[in-house]
Amino acid sequence: MPISFNDNEQIGNGVSGHPSRWLKKIDALPDSGGTADNAFQGDLFGVVLDRYDVEDGNRGDEILSKGTVFTYNDNTHVRKYKNSITTVNMGLNTQFMTLDGPNGGARTATSTDAEGIFMGFKARLNLDTTESNITRNSYKGANNKNIYFYRITSSEILDYITDLTGCYLASEKGREFGTGETTGTTGGINNTIPNDLGYVLSHEIETDNTTLTHIIQVDADLADGFYRIMQPNETAFYDFTPNKIKLNTLSSEYTKVAYENRTYTTTRDYALAYGSGERDSPLAGNVGHNEAVLSMYVFVDTDAQSEFLLSDREEVVPRTHTEAYTVLADVESLYENQFTMCITDGINTHKTSINQRYLGTTQGSYIEFGEMEEKHGLVSMSETFTVTTNSNILFPLKRAMIGSVVNISHEADNILNDLLETNDIEYTIPDSTYPLFLAPNFKSVDLFSAINYILKRKDKELIYEDDRFKIKESTDTDLYPSLIISDRNQKIQIKDFKKSTGLFDFYNEIIVYGSTHVAKKRNLRSIKKVGKKTLEVEDPSIFTQEDVDEKASELLRLHSKLNEKISIELGHNGLSQLRAGDTISLELIQENVAKNQYQILEMEHRIDGFVKLELGRFSKGMEDRFAELLVSSNANRAKIRSRELIQPNENVSILDLVSLRERKLLVQKRTTSETTNKIGFVRTIGFDSPLATGTITTTTVREVEL
């Protein structure tokens, strides 16, 4: 790493302050004339992110590839050159291009063995408790689970990586995917299933200790050795990510190549002049072989669905490929499964097939996607299924949630109060005997329908009395007739009687459309006799199937069975308090009218002292039906108005505030002088005055200031 300090002899020149801990470390490094510093010894791997040509450097097959990994760092020092350039040198155990190629032939280094590269560093963490600077203890955590914490001093890599909380530690020792051979003792660890995988619960620095001490807590019992630090990635899949995903396996084939839309494949080995060898050949311990930057896919099993096979697993993230595989496995098809899955990151979603296969305890397991698309964050996978809804979904949906729904509701009396007061309606309401909480969705609903929707659920009625609205209990005696008109009562004079049908239009089939439900009620006997006569009603204030069924039954009764009107003339004695809207009982034995309740639809006081009543067969919903028909008529008229109708300007009339006062009286007389001009003819046409033009003269007769 060439760094130009231009300081002649020494890097630091006795500088006591540094802009960063890294520059402070460089300042403290020895020069090449002294002893090599063991800084970061064994903790860092250099990796080639990109390259460029240098003068007289490597060309052709000898150039390094993106993803080439150096062997781990052995020592660090600075070197001063004659042209006053100072470099930071990192010594490695293996020389650059020491072998001829994959066949392993010896090679002599040349002065042109040089490359220009952009390099990054991969860190590894030593958790070998046999070393004096590392100690480990355990304690019982939540659910009696063992928690392991490490106290680490003199770890330069941790001094620069200050917080590992939320990361995973994957052991370098493991088994090669597919073959089951042991890895991690020598050579590269690409395609390795780690023996141990632990989650870092916390990473703290002990500030009250004179020696910089790191305290790391993990949730797994990790064996001694080196561990790779794995941090969750913001991008889970690219559209060019391989379809075959090896579970719990360290692999570079899932890592995006810098500056390119592809993932790593085969890389050139650092120790070879060209090409790529094997994990342990041609050089024993071919460190970094095909590693590039390693990635690993794990499942997040929030429900611990694999418990039927591995009942002792407590972790949300399965720590072995076998535990991960059993998340999707079942008893009937343990080693191979096929699914149709919905893959989503909450924003982007696609459906694809997934094949799952278990190769063996040491060989690994994998899932293979039929189609791969880019996804970010924690990606959800779920088996597809069909949901049947009670109505068509009229707008596009990206996400649906199945579960219990919680509505924020209000007490019915409070809703009534808001509706009536918002519309400046004075009313009285009795105290409720019980609370009822509702959460209606009143959109495009008239006030009458909204109020009735609530009143029916509270068993109350709305009446208009003494110039104000009153809400009464349905059982209130005021709502039931106290007057009985009967031909048995000699005190009541009955002059005339007439019975007819047609109070409402006749229908024998009713269809009610609620907000999301439909109900159909029919009078089959009537349909068979007179044919089908259908009434369709839309009421967006109805939200349940029970309510639309009740509404349809009520309308069928009103428009078929109770569709009769009676006209009767009575003497005025005892009827002075009656008025339209009251309910009475009527019984006329001579006219074959059984005793029933009727509502006064119209009341006419005759000049002969008799009162003519128009009666309709009483039903609790009759008065509501009248109002509904009126509201529906108004709504229909509103719908058929022209869409181009100009919205009237809002203005305020102040005519009642204007005071007029006479200021002048002016009287004028207008005269016209005659001419002999005719209008196209000469003869008289019924009168002597000539039809012609003349001069108009205005004369002021009187003008007076008032």
Task: Answer with the one of 208, 231, 254 that is the final residue of a domain.
Answer: 231
Residue 304 lies in a domain: no
Residue 655 lies in a domain: no
pLDDT tens-place string over residues 288-311: 999 999 999 999 988 765 545 555
As a whole number, mean pLDDT of residues 430-458 equals 78
Question: What pLDDT sits at residue 479?
Answer: 66
Q: What is the mean pLDDT of the chain?
A: 81
Among 84-88, 193-197, 608-612, which is the least confidently predicted range?
A: 84-88
Among 83-92, 162-171, 636-645, which is the least confidently predicted range?
A: 636-645
The interaxial angle of helices 412-422 and 447-457, nearest 10 deg, is 160
Tokens read off for 598: 């009727």
Contacts of 477 (CB under 8 A, 6+ apart): none
Task: Answer with the one of 421, 444, 465 that is the final residue of a domain.
Answer: 465
Based on the fold, state whether residues 444 and 482 are members of the same structural domain. Answer: no
Based on the fold, state whether residues 505 and 546 are members of the same structural domain. Answer: yes
Based on the fold, state whether residues 52 and 157 are members of the same structural domain. Answer: no
Question: What pLDDT sits at residue 32?
Answer: 63
Task: Answer with the one of 203, 231, 259 that is the final residue of a domain.
Answer: 231
Based on the fold, state whether residues 461 and 502 are members of the same structural domain. Answer: no
Residue 10 lies in a domain: yes
For residues 21 and 227, what is the distance between their CA atoms, to the nearest angstrom? 24
Question: What pLDDT sits at residue 336?
Answer: 84
Judged against a pLDDT cut of 80, whether residue 277 lies above it is answered with yes
Q: Give the Cα-Cα-Cα angle 172, 269, 51 (nearest 5 degrees).
A: 110
Residue 657 lies in a domain: no
Residue 218 lies in a domain: yes
Contacts of 581 (CB under 8 A, 6+ apart): 463, 464, 599, 600, 623
Portion of the chain with pLDDT greater than 70, in percent: 81
Residue 192 lies in a domain: yes
Question: What pLDDT sits at residue 643?
Answer: 45
Question: What pLDDT sits at residue 674?
Answer: 62
Portion of the chain with pLDDT greater than 90, in percent: 28
Containing domain of residue 96, as a range?
2-123
Based on the fold, state whether residues 13 and 119 are members of the same structural domain. Answer: yes
Residue 144 lies in a domain: yes
pLDDT tens-place string over residues 94-145: 888 888 888 878 888 888 888 899 999 999 999 999 999 999 999 998 888 8
pLDDT tens-place string over residues 368-395: 999 999 999 999 998 888 888 777 777 7
Q: Give the strands of the sheet with 197-206, arranged side by side.
A: 44-52, 116-126, 226-230, 168-171, 197-206, 213-218, 146-153, 134-140
Judged against a pLDDT cut of 80, whether residue 682 lies above it is answered with no
As a whole number, mean pLDDT of residues 479-503 equals 75
Tokens read off for 210: 């004179």
pLDDT tens-place string over residues 150-174: 999 988 888 888 799 999 999 999 9
- If DSSP codes are grouped into helix, strand and coil, which group holds residue 25? helix
Based on the fold, state whether residues 77 and 177 are members of the same structural domain. Answer: no
Based on the fold, state whether residues 198 and 117 are members of the same structural domain. Answer: no
Based on the fold, state whether residues 567 and 614 are members of the same structural domain. Answer: yes
Position with higher pLDDT, 689 vs 456: 456
Q: Are 147 and 138 in contact (CB under 8 A)?
A: yes
Q: How confident is the model at residue 56 (pLDDT cuts 50, 70, 90)?
A: confident
Alpha-carbon torsion 129, 133, 135, 141, what sign? negative
Among 7-21, 315-329, 692-706, which is the least confidently predicted range?
A: 7-21
The residue whose two tokens read 């009537």 is 526
CA torsion, points 658, 659, 664, 666, in degrees to nearest 10?
60
Based on the fold, state whether residues 62 and 135 are members of the same structural domain. Answer: no
Based on the fold, state whether residues 482 and 607 are members of the same structural domain. Answer: yes
CA torsion, points 451, 452, 454, 458, in degrees to nearest 10?
130
Q: What is the tally of structural domains in the chain?
A: 5
Among 141-150, 510-519, 671-680, which is the least confidently predicted range?
A: 671-680
Residue 415 lies in a domain: yes
Based on the fold, state whether residues 118 and 129 are members of the same structural domain. Answer: no
Based on the fold, state whether residues 422 and 522 are members of the same structural domain. Answer: no
